[in-house]
Structure 1
Amino acid sequence: MAEKVWQSLPDELFSLLQKERFVTLATIDHETGVPNVSAISWVYAPSKSEVRIAVASRSRIVENIKANPSAVLNLIGAGSCYSIAGEAKVAVEKMDGVSIKLSRIDLAVKEVRDVMFYGARISVDPEYEKTYDKEAADKLDRQVLEALKA
Structure 2
Amino acid sequence: MANRNEPCLIPELFEALQKEQLAFFSTVDAETGAPFMNAVSWVYALNDETLRIAVDSRSKIIDNIVENPLVSLAVFAAQSTYTISGTARLVSSQLKDVPLKASVIEMTIAGVRDVMFYGSKIAVEPSYEKTYDLQAAQKLDAQIMEALKREKI
Report TM bin, short chain.
over 0.9
| Residue 95 (structure 1) shift | 1.1
Partner in structure 1 of residue 97 of structure 2: 97
Partner in structure 2 of residue 126 of structure 1: 126
Secondary structure of the structure 2 residue equivalent to 1:139: helix
Runs of 5+ consecutive residues of structure 1 not aligned to the other structure: none
Residue correspondences, number: 150
Identity %: 48
| Residue 93 (structure 1) shift | 1.0
1:75-116 deviation per Cα after TM superposition (whole angstroms, max 9, x unaligned)? 011111000000000111111111010000001011000001
Distance of 1:19 and 1:3 partners within structure 2 = 25
TM-score by length of 2: 0.96
TM-score by length of 1: 0.98
Secondary structure of the structure 2 residue equivalent to 1:137: helix
Preserved contact between residue 81 and residue 114 of structure 2 (Cα < 8 Å): yes
Secondary structure of the structure 2 residue equivalent to 1:62: helix
Letter in 1 for 2:19: K
| Residue 2 (structure 1) shift | 6.7
Distance of 2:97 and 2:29 partners within structure 1 = 29
4+ residue runs of structure 1 moved beyond 2 angstroms? none
Runs of 5+ consecutive residues of structure 2 not aligned to the other structure: none
| Residue 4 (structure 1) shift | 0.6
Distance of 1:32 and 1:146 partners within structure 2 = 35
Cα RMSD over matched residues? 1.0
Preserved contact between residue 3 and residue 116 of structure 2 (Cα < 8 Å): no
1:33-89 deviation per Cα after TM superposition (whole angstroms, max 9, x unaligned)? 000000000010010000100000000000000000000000011111000000000
| Residue 3 (structure 1) shift | 2.6
Partner in structure 1 of residue 77 of structure 2: 77
Partner in structure 1 of residue 139 of structure 2: 139
